């Protein structure tokens, strides 16, 4: 347990535990959410932006980190200020949020499960080409993720995620240093410029990397860490900033690789996770097998951290969703919070948590043998495109209302950042819908 100064009283007379100080030793949930949100596809998108425009869009990566810091801080602030989970907040906005989330979490989980397993298997197949097939490795990684989350609780989960983040960080920074960044050009890239044809890549860099449903899970991981009230607000904010600054370094490093290794040589990558296999081959040709294999290890750490992060975080959200519905049917008071239950590990042992773990793992295995059904791809794309605007704009609603204690409501800066994020994600949503295979 963290060291405490004792307790103070909130305006309602509730005892609030407070840490001695905002210390680095408490950092954890932010690293988890950042690692989960940055997948292999995000890294490829960043590489492609660097390959097309060099260092010109570096400023967009920096703005993207600020946007993510604002969103995650808002989600964490809701949990700590109110003692209620984010789904409880959504539920208070009306029945429509429940309907949307129910449809979204079922379809999204089905398709994402197959995507995460395939992404984790790709670097293993590249490292061991004479071994089992991609489908076999995908099933193995899914089962390992299932067993790991099923039998462990948050403390162990956080430690493993921290190790995976360390591997990701060392590998990505090493590769960027290996290709040799142009320091002058990278600093010049901090000046906002939009080259011809770069608008969509710019919006993608700002809104895409580290931006998924797992951002909504941040508050749940904050509670799982044992932070359940406003006495932990400073610690949460430090945790969040460190995490997304780390994410920013990932993005900048991948832009450097794209700019130096691909842009200068006019080399192209395959879109999607397989683009990282292309990069591995390029690195092997340029810098040898050791660098290429090290990169593939980092690729695996990136993909597998996203897999177990979703298996844990979204299952927590699903458990909260199901249990909130059960309480509503029983007529439980609206102000019955569940943050303490998350902190106690109750939800990680619950039937809904484990049921969603199984849903993420076994039904998606069918998609490893079949092309994703056309209609499912369309529905999944529509729901996914709408989630980030939904998150940003509902946080604006919740944190400016009487549902949040007055001292923790949004200030001007928070409102500007969240509204800007919401509008940005609406634009990205429209573009994603246009690109769907209707």
* Mean pLDDT in residue range 373-386: 61
Residues 6+ apart with CB under 8 A from 221: 28, 29, 32, 33, 154, 158, 313, 316
Cα–Cα nearest to 171, from 253, 116, 278, 258 = 253
Give the pLDDT of residue 333: 60
* Mean pLDDT in residue range 340-355: 89
Give the pLDDT of residue 409: 96
**145, 304 contact by CB (below 8 A):** yes
Q: Is the dihedral of CA 427, 431, 436, 438 positive or negative?
A: positive
Give the pLDDT of residue 275: 74
Query: What is the Cα gyration radius of the chain?
Result: 21
Give the pLDDT of residue 22: 57
Residue 135 reports pLDDT greater than 70? yes
Greatest mean pLDDT among 184-193, 278-287, 355-364, 370-379 lies in: 355-364
Give the pLDDT of residue 271: 65
The pLDDT tens digits of the residues spanning 285-301 come to: 888 999 999 999 998 99
* Mean pLDDT in residue range 339-350: 85
Is the pLDDT higher at 434 or at 118?
A: 118
Question: What 3-state class would DSSP assign to 181?
Answer: coil
Range name among 13-17, 103-107, 182-186, 414-418 with the lowest pLDDT average: 13-17
Range name among 42-51, 188-197, 426-435 with the lowest pLDDT average: 426-435
Specify the DSSP element, H or E, that contains 433: helix 412-435
**56, 196 contact by CB (below 8 A):** no
Is the pLDDT higher at 268 or at 131?
A: 131
At 162, is the pLDDT very low, low, confident or very high (cuts 50, 70, 90)?
very high
Residue 17 reports pLDDT greater than 60? no
What DSSP string describes 266-278?
T----SSTTHHHH
Residues 6+ apart with CB under 8 A from 136: none
Give the pLDDT of residue 337: 55
Residue 1 reports pLDDT greater than 50? no
Is the pLDDT higher at 257 or at 9?
A: 257
Q: Is the dihedral of CA 261, 276, 240, 390 positive or negative?
A: positive
The pLDDT tens digits of the residues spanning 72-114 come to: 999 999 999 999 999 999 989 999 999 989 988 998 898 889 8
At 164, is the pLDDT very low, low, confident or very high (cuts 50, 70, 90)?
very high
Give the pLDDT of residue 235: 93
**388, 425 contact by CB (below 8 A):** yes
Give the pLDDT of residue 5: 47
Range name among 105-114, 131-140, 168-177, 381-390 with the lowest pLDDT average: 381-390
Residue 130 reports pLDDT greater than 80? yes
Angstrom distance (rounded) from CA 227 to CA 27? 11
At 14, is the pLDDT very low, low, confident or very high (cuts 50, 70, 90)?
very low
Is the pLDDT higher at 81 or at 325?
A: 81
Nearest 5 degrees, angle CA 197-CA 198-CA 204?
135
Give the pLDDT of residue 272: 61
Give the pLDDT of residue 9: 45
Question: What 3-state class would DSSP assign to 201?
Answer: helix
Q: Please provide the size of the chain in residues.
A: 438
Q: Count other Cβ atoms within 10 Å, centred on residue 52.
A: 18
Is the pLDDT higher at 154 or at 433?
A: 154
The pLDDT tens digits of the residues spanning 266-284 come to: 666 666 667 778 888 888 8
Give the pLDDT of residue 74: 96
pTM of the model: 0.89
């Amino acid at each position: 347990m963290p060291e405490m100064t004792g307790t103070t009283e909130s305006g309602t007379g509730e005892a609030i535990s407070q840490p001695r100080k905002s210390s680095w030793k408490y950092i954890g949930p932010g690293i988890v959410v950042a690692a989960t949100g940055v997948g292999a596809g995000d890294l490829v998108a960043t590489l492609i932006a660097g390959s097309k425009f060099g260092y010109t869009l570096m400023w967009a990566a920096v703005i993207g980190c600020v946007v993510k810091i604002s969103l995650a801080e808002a989600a964490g602030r809701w949990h700590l200020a109110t003692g209620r989970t984010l789904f409880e907040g959504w539920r208070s906005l009306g029945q429509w949020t429940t309907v949307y989330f129910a449809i979204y979490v079922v379809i999204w989980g089905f398709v994402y499960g197959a995507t995460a397993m395939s992404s984790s298997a790709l670097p293993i197949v590249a490292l061991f080409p004479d071994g089992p097939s991609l489908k076999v490795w995908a099933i193995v990684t899914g089962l390992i993720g299932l067993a790991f989350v099923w039998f462990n609780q948050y403390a162990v989960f956080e430690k493993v995620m921290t190790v995976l983040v360390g591997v990701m960080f060392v590998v990505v920074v090493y590769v960027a240093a290996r290709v040799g960044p142009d320091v002058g050009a990278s600093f010049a890239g901090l000046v906002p410029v939009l080259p011809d044809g770069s608008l969509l890549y710019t919006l993608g860099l700002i809104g895409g990397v580290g931006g998924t449903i797992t951002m909504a899970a941040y508050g749940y991981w904050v509670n799982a860490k044992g932070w359940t009230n406003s006495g932990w607000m400073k610690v949460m904010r430090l945790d969040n900033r460190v995490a997304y600054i780390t994410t920013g370094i990932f993005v900048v490093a991948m832009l450097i690789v794209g700019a130096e290794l691909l842009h200068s040589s006019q080399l192209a990558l395959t879109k999607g996770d397989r683009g990282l296999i292309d990069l591995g081959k390029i690195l092997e040709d340029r810098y040898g097998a050791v660098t290429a294999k090290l990169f593939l290890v980092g690729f695996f750490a990136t993909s597998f951290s996203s897999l177990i992060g979703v298996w844990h975080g979204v299952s927590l959200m699903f458990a909260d969703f199901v249990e909130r519905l059960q309480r509503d049917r029983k007529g439980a008071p609206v102000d019955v919070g569940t943050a303490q239950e998350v902190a106690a590990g109750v939800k990680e042992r619950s039937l809904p948590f484990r049921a969603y773990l199984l849903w993420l793992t076994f039904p998606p295995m069918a998609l490893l043998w079949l092309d994703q059904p056309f209609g499912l791809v369309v529905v999944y794309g529509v729901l996914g495109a709408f989630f980030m605007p939904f998150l940003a704009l509902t946080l604006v609603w919740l944190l400016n209302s009487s549902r949040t204690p007055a001292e923790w409501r949004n200030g001007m800066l928070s409102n500007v950042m969240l509204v800007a994020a919401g509008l940005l994600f609406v634009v990205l949503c429209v573009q994603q819908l246009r690109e769907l295979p209707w």
